[in-house]
Amino acid sequence: MRIGFLSTRLAGLDGVSLETAKWAEMFRRMGHRVFYLAGELDPEGPPGMEVPLFHFRHPRVQALQRRFFSRQPQDREWLRREIDGMARELEGHLEAFVERFGIQVLVLQNVLAIPMHVPLGVAVTRFLRRTGLPAVAHHHDFFWERARFAHAQLPQLLQAHFPPVLPNLQHVVINTPAREALRARKGVASVVVPNVMDFHSPPPPHNGLALRAYLGLSPEDLLVVQPTRVVPRKGIEWALEVLYCLRQPRWQRVLRGRRPVLVVTHPAGDEGMEYLRALREKARALQVPLLYIAPLVGERARPRAGIRFSLNDVYAQADAMTYPSKYEGFGNALLEGVYWRLPILVNRYPIYDRDIRPHGFRFAEMDQAVTPEVVEAFVEQVMDPGLRREVVDHNFWVASRVFSFENVMPVLEGVLERAAGGR
């Protein structure tokens, strides 16, 4: 089949883009062809159409979004007209994409779940209703899960389109509570497909040593990777507190004098730059080395010293990983750390407790606070060679049994068959 993936962006290191790439690879292994439509595409990704107006950062979209979610009174009729006009424009591009690539099934990546681009949700709903084209909505997080979407000028519009209930639309969620919430709010069934990794393929080639040298880190520096975007819900301030503890004399003796450095790989900006500025101020106050390397990493990064660095380069050189998120839809980066066999410090966010922890992983866990016990458990996993090998191998084994491509490919094939058969 010819499958079209649609999102606001399908580029970079955000969870939606990374998980979309995995779905695309799994569909290719099943024998299907895949195409992309988004406001931003990776240059080395599948063929498709890059339409700037699809991006949530487009100036016209941002201006409309600010007014739609403003707490100040707005001209609601003006909002309706603007949304309607932009939705018609977007629908035209979507129709051209479907015709150009002969799309038989659309896979909608989060555009009908979280209203980062309200007119796009409206456009997609209209297109599906008008054409009856089979579609799968892959929901990563819903608007009712985020406080910043709690106040909308036209709440009935959110209810109707995020997500819509249509006979030709199959719903996929990434965790159990989301399935329960969707059933309660919309009365529709959905399939849980968790985040996955290709655990049965070896790590790709990397230039990790070149990256460490470029960052000015010696082999003795303890590189602790924080592989997330810089937004407040990632809890990166807790990672700084952990490294502050590691710099104290008690733990420096255990670390044998190794200097802990926190390396943040993913970009800031999706929710403003204030959080990054606050983290840098906190790092200076705690005297914790903080390296924000997002401009160096990814397909769109400029080559450095003749080399383009990747996220794999960072993982290959990391000594440990922090993942102190306050909330996650699932935990894509957590699986990446397991794949690269890193000791991991994780905060017990709700979805971790519900859908991941019960499988028996062995992480150093914290519960909304950095305590001496948390630091001790983390240091033991990092510095005790026997324990480290035992823990990371165990976690890899668990994840490969539960969260591998092979586990979810039959589920995806079933979703695709139901979508195509429902036309």
Per-residue pLDDT reduced to its tens digit, 153-202? 999 999 999 999 999 999 999 999 999 999 999 999 999 999 999 999 99
Exposed / middle / buried, residue 247 (Cβ in 10 Å: 0-12, 13-18, 19+): middle
pLDDT (mean) for 407-416: 94
The model carries a pTM of: 0.88
Q: Which of 22-26, 180-184, 249-253, 268-272 has the lowest mean pLDDT?
A: 268-272
pLDDT of 81 above 60? yes
Of the chain, the percentage scoring pLDDT greater than 90 comes to 85
Helices (H) and strands (E) in the chain, counts: 16, 13
What's the token pair of residue 366? 């914290």
What does the alpha-carbon distance between residue 244 and residue 286 come to, in Å, rounded to a whole number? 6
Domains and CATH numbers, the chain: 2-196+405-421 (3.40.50.2000), 208-402 (3.40.50.2000)
What does the alpha-carbon distance between residue 49 and residue 304 come to, in Å, rounded to a whole number? 29
CA distances (Å), 59 to each of 67, 150, 174, in order?
Answer: 13, 22, 30
Of the chain, the percentage scoring pLDDT greater than 70 comes to 97
Beta bridge partners of 268: 230
Whole-number mean pLDDT of the chain? Answer: 94
pLDDT (mean) for 391-409: 96
What's the token pair of residue 285? 């106050």
